Amino acid sequence: MKKSLLLLMIATAAMAQITISEAQMKKMGITVEQVRMIQSEAMGPFIGTFDYSDKGAKNYSLSSEATVSELMKQMGDNVKKGEVICTIASSELLASSYELNDLRNRLRLAQEYAQKDHTLYKDGVISLRESQKSSLDVMSLKSKVAEIENRFIFSGADIRPKNGMMFTIRARQSGILAHAPLKAGEKVEPFVPYLKIVSGNALSAYIKIPPKMIGSIYKGALVSDKTGVEAGRITAISSSVDVMNNSATAIAVLNSNNHYRAGTSGEFYIASVQMDKWMLLPRSSVTKYKKNDICFIKTAGGFKAQPIQIQKIYKEHIAVKSEGLNATSMVASDGIITLKGALSGLGFE
């Protein structure tokens, strides 16, 4: 049989070094891939529901009953400070606005009279008692004005009369409208929040965790979606289990560029910490040699056989301890049989 190629490979007992050129590698179909370093593995999938955090949120309430007459913004919309969110109709607010205007006019007059009385007292025209009475009238009116103003200020929103019983509700901060009436005609109950504005990055995922896995999840853990894209990080983990669904809750604050919507749900994977760094090798790069697991690391002159300790086997990769490997290591992924034969001292024709 004519020899087409004699592969010159010498395996030494100390280094298990195999000498081979790039041309010989190509001829024998030997290819290499770079290893990857991982410090954790992803657990999941877990189901998370989306909602807005109350941190930095502003709730709007009314001290009186009202009816939504028109919606300019819908739940989930972005709003800017000063934008009209909706208009409402309220006979109580209308009565309060009339009363407030009347009291402000009376207060202005009372302040003018009190100033005049103070001057007259100084000139000895009227008694101290008469001057003090004017001052008390001013204080009483100020108290009444403040009480009615609080009916509007309490709402947190910028309420302005429009016409008749109609009032516009404007945002006092920019953000996302996390809660709002769904349609015109809805009732707004007194002291019950009817609007909520949150900051743009306040969306969180409330992820259900089986009890046996609580100990593997930690604050700061990376959360990724089902495609492997980073979604956020864990900020809190409940210490108790909900008896209704037999699960704990981990809260993840999502990245500001997320595409999720409050009220929906999605699948997530959470990274768990490993004490040692692992290297991720292609499954095809790992083989058995004399009852040991090995891979072949690319060197300047060929390959070196490297014993490995398998930690976990995945569908397409194998996680091993990092001894003898680093993030720049290249390992043979095809042609392993050829290299294994060279390691045993065999020749090839």
Q: What is the mean pLDDT of the chain?
A: 83
Residue 142 has pLDDT above 50, yes or no: yes
285 contacts: CB under 8 Å, gap ≥ 6: 33, 295, 296, 318, 331, 332, 333, 336
Structure confidence by residue, pLDDT tens digits, 54-71: 777 888 888 888 999 999
pLDDT at 275 over 70: no
Token pair of 16 as six digits: 């298990």
pLDDT band at 10 (very low <50, low <70, confident <90, very high): very low
Identity at 152, one-letter amino acid code? F
- 52-56, 229-233, 294-298 — which one is most confidently predicted on average? 294-298
Q: In 3D, which of 289, 213, 278 has the Cα closest to residue 246?
A: 213
Q: What is the pLDDT of residue 14?
A: 40
Q: Crossing angle of helices 91-122/128-153, nearest 10°?
A: 160
Q: Positive or negative CA dihedral for 38, 41, 45, 51?
A: negative
More confident residue, 168 or 1: 168
What homologous superfamily is domain 43-55+200-275 in, according to CATH?
Answer: Efflux pump adaptor protein, beta barrel domain (2.40.30.170)
How much is the average pLDDT of 316-344? 89
CATH 3.90.470.20 fits 59-198, yes or no: no
- The answer to whether residue 6 scores a pLDDT higher than 50 is no
Cis peptide before 45 (omega within 30 of 0): yes
Q: Looking at this protein, which amino acid is placed at residue 134?
A: S
Domain extent listing, the chain: 17-38+276-343, 43-55+200-275, 59-198
Reference 234, options 248, 222, 247; nearest CA is 222
CATH code of the domain occupying 17-38+276-343: 2.40.420.20
The predicted pLDDT at position 175 comes to: 86
Predicted model pTM: 0.49
Q: Is the pLDDT confidence value at 8 over 60? A: no
Nearest to 89 by CA among 101, 97, 80, 81: 97
Lowest mean pLDDT among 78-92, 157-171, 291-305, 316-330: 157-171
CB 342 within 8 A of CB 289: no
Give buried/exposed letters for 15-37 (b at 16+ CB in 10 A, else e). ebbbbbeeebbeebebebbebee
Cα separation, 131 vs 11, in Å, equals 112
The whole-number average pLDDT for the span 135-141 is 91
Integer angstrom CA distances of residue 84 from 90, 151, 226? 17, 19, 38
Higher-confidence residue of 97 and 317: namely 317
Tokens of 348: 């090839």
Spatial contact of 85 and 180, defined as CB atoms under 8 Å apart? yes
Burial 206-228 (b: 16+ CB within 10 A, else e): bbbbeeebbeebeeebbbbbeee
Give tens-digit pLDDT for 64-98.
Answer: 889 999 999 998 888 999 899 999 988 887 777 78
